[in-house]
Amino acid sequence: MTTEMETHMRLIDVEIGRYDWSAFECGCGKPAAHLADDLLRLAHAQTREQADELRIADHALIQSFPQEPAVPVTAVLMAALSGDLTPGARVACLDLLLRLVDTDDEDSAETCQSIARQGLWGLYRDLWSAAHPDLVIYAYLVLRVIETDEERLRTYRDSGRVDLPDHLVD
C-alpha cells in the first residue's frame, strides 16, 4: 500500500471514528453502526457497481429526506474524496454527496453543503480532471449546489477543459 493510500485510509478511519454510529437511527430503521463498515467498503470499491451495491443512500436518505446519519456520512465522503479512489468509487461518492447537499430538508442540506465546501478545491480537481465523464458531471452538479462564487464556477466550466452535456450548460 502506498503512503498516500495509507494516509487516505487513516483519514477515513479517523473521520468514521469521530461518530457514535450506533447512536444514529439509520434509514433502514436500525442503528447506523453498520454504516461505518459500509463507508469503508465504499472507499475500497473497485467499480461503481460494487459501490452501488452497498446502497448507502438508502441508509442516509429516505427518498430526498436526510436521515440522522446524513451529516456524518457527508463528512466521511469528503474524507474519502480527499484520497485516491477508483473512478467507480469516486463517482459513487460524488453521486451520494450530491443527494446529501441537495435535499428537501434545508437545515441538513445547509450543514452538508458547509462540510462539502471544506473540500471545494478537490471538487474542482474532479471537475477539471476529465478522468471519467460521470466524474466531471457529478463534480459539476455538486459544485452548482455548494459554490458561492458563481463566476468562478462559470469560469472553470467555460475554460474549454470541462466537457459537459449541453443540458448542463446554463
What is the dihedral sign for C-alpha 9, 15, 18, 21?
A: negative
Identify the pLDDT of residue 159: 87
Q: What is the reported pTM?
A: 0.92
pLDDT in tens, 34-67: 999 999 999 999 999 999 999 999 999 998 899 9
Separation of alpha carbons 71 and 51, rounded Å: 19
What's the whole-number mean pLDDT along residues 15-43? 95
Percent of the chain exceeding pLDDT 90 equals 78
Sequence-distant (6+) residues with CB within 8 A of 54 are 38, 41, 42, 45
Q: What are phi and psi of 157, to 5 degrees?
A: -60, -40
Q: Is the pLDDT of residue 68 over 80?
A: yes
Q: What is the mean pLDDT of residues 131-141?
A: 92
* pLDDT for the residue 10: 79
Using 50, 70 and 90 to split pLDDT, how confident is the model at 144? very high
